[in-house]
Structure 1
Amino acid sequence: MAKQSTRPAPADTPEFVRALREISLAGRALSIQERHALHDAGATAAEDGLPLRNLITGHLEEMWRSWASLPGVTGARTTDDLKRVGENVIRAAEDAVGELTKGYEETQRWTVRREESLRREFIDDLLTGHDVGHLAERAERYGLRLAGTNVVAAACSSKPFLDSDAASANVQSAMSLRFSSRQVLVATREGLLVCVVPHDLAGAPEEFARRVGEVVGRGAQWRVGLGQPQSGPGGTVRSFEQARNALELADRLDLADRLVKAADLLVYQVLLRDSAALGELVTAVLEPLRQARGGAERLVDTLTAYFASGRVTTATAQSLGIGVRTVTYRLDRVRELTGYRADDPAQGFTLQVAVLGARLLGWPNSAP
Structure 2
Amino acid sequence: MAEQGLRFTGLDLPDDVAAALQAVLPRMAERTVTAVTAEVPSYAAAFSGRMGQNIENAVQMALGGFLRLAVRAQDTDPTATLTPALDGAYELGRGEARQGRSMDALLSAYRVGARVAWRELSGTAVEAGLTADTVARFAELVFAFIDELSASSVSGHADELATTGRVRERYLERLARQLLDGEPAEVLHDSAERAGWSPPSTLTAIVLAEAQTRGLAARFGQSTLLVSEDLPGVGASDSLAVLLAPDLDVRHRRQLRSALQGRRALVGPARPWMLVQSSYRRALRARTLPVADDVDIVDTDDHLVELVLTADREAAEDLRERVLAPLSGLRPSTAERLAETLRSWLLHQGQREAVAAELFVHPQTVRYRMTQIRELFGDGLDDPRTVMELTVALAVPKPA
**1:354 counterpart residue number:** 393
| 1:282-308 residue CA offsets vs partner (Å, 9 max, x unmatched) | 345499699449xx8x99999888877
Give the Cα separation in 2 of the matches to 1:227 and 1:54.
42
> Considering only aligned residues, what root-mean-square deviation do their CA atoms show, in Å?
5.2
**Structure 1 or 2: larger helix share?**
2
Give the Cα separation in 2 of the matches to 1:186 and 1:36.
37
**1:187 counterpart residue number:** 225
| Preserved contact between residue 86 and residue 152 of structure 2 (Cα < 8 Å) | yes
Residue 58 of structure 2 corresponds to residue 21 of structure 1: no
Residue 112 of structure 2 corresponds to residue 77 of structure 1: no
| 1:180-207 residue CA offsets vs partner (Å, 9 max, x unmatched) | xxxxx4323442222355xxxxxx4134
Report the 3-state secondary structure (helix = DSSP H, G, I; strand = E; otherwise coil) of the residue aligned with 1:44: helix
**1:248 counterpart residue number:** 285
| 1:266-324 residue CA offsets vs partner (Å, 9 max, x unmatched) | 9826x745x5443323345499699449xx8x9999988887777778878988xx954
After superposing the two structures, state which structure 1 stretch, 103-112 or 115-124, moved more. 115-124
| Preserved contact between residue 205 and residue 280 of structure 2 (Cα < 8 Å) | yes
**2:93 counterpart residue number:** 42
| Preserved contact between residue 155 and residue 223 of structure 1 (Cα < 8 Å) | yes
After superposing the two structures, state which structure 1 stretch, 109-118 or 67-76, moved more. 67-76
**2:36 counterpart residue number:** none
| Preserved contact between residue 153 and residue 225 of structure 1 (Cα < 8 Å) | yes
Structure 1 residue 104: Cα displacement: 0.9
Q: Structure 1 residues 67 and 248 mapped into 2: Cα distance closer, same or farther (>3 Å)?
A: same
After superposing the two structures, state which structure 1 stretch, 220-229 or 252-261, moved more. 252-261
Residue 249 of structure 2 corresponds to residue 205 of structure 1: yes
Report the 3-state secondary structure (helix = DSSP H, G, I; strand = E; otherwise coil) of the residue aligned with 2:221: helix
Residue 217 of structure 2 corresponds to residue 172 of structure 1: no
Q: Structure 1 residues 128 and 254 mapped into 2: Cα distance closer, same or farther (>3 Å)?
A: same
| Unpaired runs of at least 5, structure 2 | 1-12, 26-56, 232-240
Q: Structure 1 residues 291 and 76 mapped into 2: Cα distance closer, same or farther (>3 Å)?
A: farther
Give the Cα separation in 2 of the matches to 1:130 and 1:160.
24
Give the Cα separation in 1 of the matches to 2:163 and 2:285.
38
Q: Write the letter of the residue equivalent to 2:96.
A: A
Structure 1 residue 156: Cα displacement: 3.2
Task: Give the structure-1-normalised TM-score.
Answer: 0.62
Structure 1 residue 167: Cα displacement: 0.9
The share of aligned pairs that are identical, in percent, is 15
Aligned residues: 319
**2:171 counterpart residue number:** 118
**1:105 counterpart residue number:** 158
Report the 3-state secondary structure (helix = DSSP H, G, I; strand = E; otherwise coil) of the residue aligned with 1:117: helix
Residue 263 of structure 2 corresponds to residue 216 of structure 1: no
Residue 285 of structure 2 corresponds to residue 279 of structure 1: no
Give the Cα separation in 1 of the matches to 2:350 and 2:95.
73
Q: Structure 1 residues 222 and 209 mapped into 2: Cα distance closer, same or farther (>3 Å)?
A: farther
Q: Write the letter of the residue equivalent to 1:209.
A: R
